[in-house]
């Protein structure tokens, strides 16, 4: 057994009164979970801003854990929480309340008409776990297909359908897990004669591999309509339509995991709406639905609900259909629709993307810019000729950005290089986007200068 001890940080901020005790207490009492802690101690969050222990402001361009859709401490959300926790917070899971019905009703109103049956949980892992179980109960089959760059959670079923991280040393995955090549246009080996991405051939290859591996028990394909943790991978137009057709051809359910893309972030209420006619059989929401609070949902059709009921489907958790978080989710949906945040996310996302493309023109190490709405990604490379992943460079720029006042998420998963995820709240202003772009610009310049590298060439 290894005796290596992981310390939580070695660089605490200098102006915290309890600096001498904060990190020693953290190291003593908190278990390391594989997530490297930030050296910054955040003491307050408001709107799009974080405030550290020294009072320094930091622009939050990851929306917390990609969740604070309306920014931190939105006044209407604060009011709902205060009112609801004082009146009706938690009950037996069998007791249905008005906030739960209101949330289910509001969801049905913004979803395709076939998706009308919902229940509510806490986390993304829980929602995808439940969605996978629904598929198995309804179809009577057990094989689950997911993208090779997928991230759907780390519980038993969701973790087995996650290929981007967390698979080593955890024992066997659930039986019947099959990986499908992710639509990674920037690095795909499938190219047409003109060098463009040949996604049709790649998709056919992927399905041929699935059909060879399957034992004849294909239950579902679970996917994000834009792969976020996998590196902001945006499928080309027509891809989701074709995938839905292939699933239907094989009698599989299509599960959409919109933990990070749902509720307006991409410029549409749901990212699967980018292709007309694509409607999942099961939709899993989390993160953005709760605006930072632990809320997730699973929505499906009446037919699938009936089949699951007949098969004896059971999902019972301590916080199933809790009224407190349901009231928050209903208010989130109300605000997003009322204040037209889908349109605003598309507009501000266009501004953000245009700024990132300008940075790409300036800095050789930005190999690709991709995303939709206020979910944008930039992939860094270490060499302009070979396009080798710029993982180390990306980490350096990420740390510089944080020092300069911008929190942006770096994805350092195997094979993904250094990919920034920029996902500010949909309440972000044009001035805040310009401010963030300026910080990024300065951070790239700073890091390359320290490394003695030119801006324009390697």
29 in catalytic set? no
DSSP character at residue 271: G
CA separation for the pair 188, 205 (Å, rounded): 12
Q: Report whether 341 contacts 264 (CB < 8 A).
A: yes
Contacts within 8 Å (CB) and 24+ apart, 407-412: 407/50, 407/58, 407/59, 407/60, 407/61, 407/62, 408/61, 408/62, 408/436, 408/440, 409/61, 409/62, 409/66, 411/229, 411/230, 411/231, 411/377
Q: What are phi and psi of 323, to 5 degrees?
A: -70, -35
The closest alpha carbon to 104, from 118, 123, 89, 84, belongs to: 118
How many Å is the Cα radius of gyration of the chain? 22
In the numeric block, the tokens 């780390």 are attached to: 154
SS3 448: helix
DSSP annotation string for 6-23: --S-S---TT-TTHHHHH
Among the options 137, 138, 151, 363, which is catalytic?
A: 151
CA 253, distance to chain mean position in Å, is 21
CA atoms 111, 349, 448, 56: torsion sign: negative
Q: Residues with catalytic annotation?
A: 151
């Amino acid at each position: 057994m290894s005796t290596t001890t992981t310390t939580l940080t070695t660089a605490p901020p200098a102006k915290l009164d309890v600096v001498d005790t904060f990190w020693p207490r953290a190291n003593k009492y908190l278990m390391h979970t594989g997530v490297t802690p930030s050296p910054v101690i955040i003491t307050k969050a408001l709107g799009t801003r974080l405030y550290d222990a020294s009072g320094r402001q930091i622009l939050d361009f990851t929306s917390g854990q990609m969740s604070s859709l309306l920014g931190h401490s939105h006044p209407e959300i604060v009011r709902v929480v205060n009112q609801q926790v004082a009146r009706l917070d938690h009950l037996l899971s069998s007791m249905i309340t008005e906030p739960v019905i209101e949330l289910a009703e509001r969801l049905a109103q913004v979803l395709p008409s076939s998706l009308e049956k919902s229940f509510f949980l806490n986390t993304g892992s829980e929602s995808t776990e439940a969605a996978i179980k629904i598929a198995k109960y309804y179809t009577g089959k057990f094989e689950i297909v997911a993208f090779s760059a997928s991230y759907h959670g780390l519980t038993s079923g969701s973790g087995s359908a996650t290929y981007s991280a967390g698979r080593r040393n955890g024992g066997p995955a659930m039986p019947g897990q099959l990986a499908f090549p992710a639509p990674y246009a920037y690095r795909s080996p499938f190219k047409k004669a003109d060098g463009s991405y040949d996604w049709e051939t790649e998709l056919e290859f992927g399905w041929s591999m699935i059909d060879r591996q399957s034992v004849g028990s294909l239950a579902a394909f679970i996917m994000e309509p834009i792969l976020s943790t996998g590196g902001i991978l945006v499928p080309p137009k027509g891809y989701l339509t074709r995938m839905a057709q292939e699933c239907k051809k094989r009698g599989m359910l299509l599960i959409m995991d919109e933990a990070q893309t749902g509720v307006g972030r991409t410029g549409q209420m749901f990212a699967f709406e980018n292709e007309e006619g694509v409607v999942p059989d099961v939709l899993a929401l989390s993160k953005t639905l709760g605006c930072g609070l632990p809320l997730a949902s699973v929505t499906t059709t009446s037919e699938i609900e009936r089949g699951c009921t007949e098969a004896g489907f059971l999902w019972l958790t301590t916080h199933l259909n809790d009224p407190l978080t349901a009231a928050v989710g209903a208010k989130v949906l109300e605000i997003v629709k009322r204040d037209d945040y889908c349109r605003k996310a598309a507009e501000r996302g266009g501004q953000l993307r245009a700024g990132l493309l300008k940075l790409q023109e300036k800095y050789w190490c930005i190999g690709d810019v991709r995303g939709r709405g206020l979910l944008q990604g930039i992939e860094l490379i270490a060499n302009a000729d070979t396009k080798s992943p710029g993982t180390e460079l990306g980490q350096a720029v990420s740390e510089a950005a944080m020092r300069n006042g911008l929190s942006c998420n770096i994805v350092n998963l195997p094979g993904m290089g250094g990919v920034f995820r920029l996902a500010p709240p949909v309440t972000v202003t044009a001035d805040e986007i310009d401010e963030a772009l300026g910080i990024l610009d300065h951070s790239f310049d700073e890091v390359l200068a320290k490394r003695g590298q030119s801006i324009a060439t390697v």
